[in-house]
Chain A
Amino acid sequence: MKCRRCRAPAVVDVRRHNAAFCRDCFLHHTREQVKRAIAEHDMIRPGERVLVAVSGGKDSLAAWDLLRELGYDADGLYLGLGIGDYSDESGRYARAFAASRALELHEIDLAGDYGYDVPGAAYATRRAPCGACGLSKRHLFNQVALDLGYDVVATGHNLDDEAAVLLGNVLRWEEGYLGRQYPVLAASDGFVRKVKPLVRLGERETAAYCVLTGIDYIVEECPMAAGNRHLGYKELLNALEDRSPGSKAAFLFGFFERAHPRFEDSAREERAELRACRSCGAPTTGEVCAFCSLRERATVGDEQMLAAVIRRKR
């Protein structure tokens, strides 16, 4: 295959664009897609400080790299989830990336700073680990951004992530989630703006970006995510995409343009009901926010487990 832009030998094909690119033209393509997403959705304004949620994986490191390449003032935040060797290794990739580019990386360790980790929280609450993980991330990324004066939290969610989430939300007609599913979530009381600058790039493109720019990332999958519903949706969508390139983009972008406005009221109603968590002050619909509730149950769970172990030893 030849590069669509310069006719040099291609290294990556992007079937949904019916195109292939050489290295340099592919990097140009990724930057253009991110610039377009930011401009289309007014994600980041000049002079704003961005906090990138960094996991050590391909998407978050690509997002951080691309934002810096495009001239944004972007620092990183890594959250240690306590998932054994996987967390140790992903932290090493995040730190190595930041060090290689002299970027500022903030770090939170769930166990050290909040007294629980994701496997423990999943056990104590009988929730799927991905639920406890996502909840902790959403709360803490927002909280750190507020505390440190960042205007925007950027995540590495890509086209595939969003299409898979959309499929899940549509299968269950989750109106509130559908109303909130958008490349930008505006700031409001207690929330900073949240943006997804990779929403126009598939995860094959973000992985290719990392390989071609020499970004080392954790390739291994999170052991807690293996076999989860989200991965199943991605496999289904990729089977469709293989038969009919462009299906995922048509599904997702069609939703943003034509269907999302119909669900916005549901999300607005949910936000109107918010009040301050009596424990941490974060916005919540209940007395105590979901994060504080999770933390309380997870840390109590730890104490109960410890007591059970001590009893057994006696």
Chain B
Amino acid sequence: MTLHRGRYPVAAMKVLLRNPRREVDVEGPTTVAALLGRLELNPESVLVICGDTLVTRDARLADDDVVEIRPVISGGAGS
């Protein structure tokens, strides 16, 4: 999906979300905290991976970054 401002396409970062696995385009640049806010995700419940490293919530993300938002909550109260 390409984001548009009016008729014109704008650059967007690729954001991979999990459970279920899907990819969304988000207009940048932005910070990790703002990105999570925009996606209505609790920062306590996810890690943000940019390229091949983790990033803190004040990190700036550029238009051409590839970002994974990985959930960290797991369900079993089992063993």
Contact = CB atoms under 8 A, between A and B. Distances in A.
Interface of A: 1, 10-13, 15, 20, 23, 53, 55, 57-59, 130, 133-134, 137-138, 141, 155, 157, 160-161, 164-165, 168, 203-204, 206-208, 211-212, 219-222, 225-226, 228, 230-231, 234-235, 238-239, 241-242
B29 interface: no
B39 interface: no
21 contacts: A1-B56, A10-B56, A11-B55, A20-B56, A55-B79, A58-B72, A133-B76, A133-B78, A137-B78, A141-B79, A203-B72, A204-B45, A208-B54, A219-B18, A219-B19, A220-B19, A225-B76, A230-B77, A239-B42, A241-B44, A242-B43
A142 to B, nearest CB: 10
The dominant DSSP class at the B interface is: loop
Given A211-B54, A242-B42, A130 B77 contact: yes
B64 to A, nearest CB: 20
Interface core residue of B18, B49, B57, B75 (most chain A CB under 10 Å): B75
**Contact size class for B?**
20 to 34
Contacts of B54: 11-12, 208, 211-212
Contacts of A222: 74-76
A134 B76 contact: yes
Contacts of B14: none
Given A1-B56, A238-B45, A239-B42, A231 B73 contact: yes
A141 B55 CA distance: 37
B18 A220 contact: yes
Contacts, number: 100
A134 B78 contact: yes
B55 A230 contact: no
The dominant DSSP class at the A interface is: helix
Given A161-B77, A238-B44, A11 B72 contact: no
Interface string B53-73: 111111000000000001111
B21 to A, nearest CB: 8
Given A141-B79, A206-B72, A221-B75, 17 more contacts: A15-B44, A20-B56, A53-B79, A130-B75, A130-B76, A157-B79, A203-B74, A204-B45, A204-B47, A208-B54, A211-B49, A222-B76, A230-B77, A234-B45, A234-B73, A235-B42, A238-B44
A20 B74 CA distance: 23
Contacts of B46: 204
Contact of B74 (A58, A141, A155, A168): A58
Contacts of B44: 15, 204, 238, 241-242
B10 to A, nearest CB: 29
A127 to B, nearest CB: 13
Contacts of B43: 242
A137 B79 contact: yes
B53 A11 contact: yes
Interface core residue of B44, B55, B73 (most chain A CB under 10 Å): B44
B76 A13 contact: no
B34 to A, nearest CB: 15
A155 B56 CA distance: 29
A155 B79 CA distance: 7
B63 to A, nearest CB: 21
B47 A59 contact: no
B55 to A, nearest CB: 7
A204 B58 CA distance: 17
B75 A228 contact: yes
B74 A134 contact: no
A242 B49 CA distance: 20
A219 B73 contact: no
